[in-house]
Amino acid sequence: MLRGLIPILWMLAATLAGNGSDSDPHRAVSEAASARAVADPAVLASPASLPFFYDLYTFRGDRGGTTVVAAVAVPVRRLRAERVDRRVRYRFDLRFVLADTARLEVFHTEDSVFVSMPRALARQHLLHTFVEVEAPPSKATLQRVVVTDATRPGVGQLYSTPFPIPDYSGTELMLSDIAFGLPGSETGWTRRGATLALLPTSQFPESSFDVYYEIYNLPSGNNYETEFAFQPIDDSGGDERAVRALFSGESEADEDGSVAELRRVASALPKGRYLFTVTVRDLVSRQTAVRSRTIDVRGWRSGTTLVTAMPRGIGR
């Protein structure tokens, strides 16, 4: 597990300041997991909707499978608060489904999210959580995420879209998805010694943040270099305003040739949309792997709270 600090400090802020675009803060799904509502009996009967935000991240799983992680965030204003024992409670249920239409197999998890606070949270506060499902690689998979208000039967929202599950079992140099989280959290999504307070990339605060990704098929002992690039996305085109950071090292890969890296970007990004790209170069084999992700910095000055989901069912 490689950890590092990326000191993109005042230079980053100075380069990107003034280039943010205040896009629609109510966009329900990030671009990486752009979803459309589809017909479902549990949702069609809803007297009210419950828009939420989410992202999906994929990593190499066990025995040739792929781990798919869903980061989900719900604005407090969309939930009904309950007063119990002089405290304020918020609850919602979460269902995450991967359906392979070629193999006719379904992989799913059902979870509940619960948090009790001494006082009501701001309406713009975000409650966020995460769940994960293991599934075989497939180009014919549909993903479905459903969130319902546990205090109001029939109130919920569903998003579903085709979601090809990548195959990480090859022998060439590869990168997993890039996952993002808030720094300093002692609880959260845990993998290979890293703990990440995952957030959907469509709902990023103006703060420093953690970046997690995995490199596959990088033999132990090989020298390699990694480049981070942050590029504002607007109508001007070009990459002259991209900010880059380059660092190098020697692979300390596991037996399967995989390296997990957790790095912290030590500077806040101004509001706006950015393309974040990770490029890894194996200096011995001369192979290169590239992965990009779009992030939207919105601010969220009302704060966020990570709540661990409690599984109610998991299976296939």
| pTM for this model (two decimals) | 0.83
- Among 23-32, 129-138, 263-272, 302-311, which range has the highest average pLDDT? 129-138
> How many angstroms separate the CA atoms of 315 and 112, rounded?
16
The least confident of 128-137, 197-206, 279-288 is 197-206
Predicted confidence at residue 37, as pLDDT, reads 30
* Model confidence at 140: pLDDT above 50: yes
> How many angstroms separate the CA atoms of 157 and 76, rounded?
15
* Model confidence at 271: pLDDT above 80: yes
* Model confidence at 39: pLDDT above 60: no
Predicted confidence at residue 6, as pLDDT, reads 53
> How many angstroms separate the CA atoms of 160 and 174, rounded?
27
Closest C-alpha to 177, from 70, 255, 287: 70
pLDDT band of 316, cuts 50, 70, 90: low
Per the prediction, the chain carries an average pLDDT of 83
Using the Cα atoms of residue 167, residue 265, residue 276 and residue 31 in order, give the sign of their dihedral: positive
* Model confidence at 136: pLDDT above 70: yes
Closest C-alpha to 112, from 134, 132, 95, 88: 95
Using a pLDDT cut of 90, give the percent of the chain over it.
59
Residue with the bigger pLDDT between 205 and 161: it is 161
Predicted confidence at residue 185, as pLDDT, reads 78
Residue with tokens 């109508």: 235
- pLDDT average, residue stretch 207-224: 94
Predicted confidence at residue 42, as pLDDT, reads 36
Predicted confidence at residue 76, as pLDDT, reads 93
Report the half-sphere exposure of 133 (CA within 13 A, side-chain side): 28
* Model confidence at 279: pLDDT above 90: yes
Token digits for 190?
Answer: 């845990």
Length of the chain: 316
Measured CA distances, 134 to 66, 67, 109, 144, 301 (Å):
6, 5, 10, 14, 34
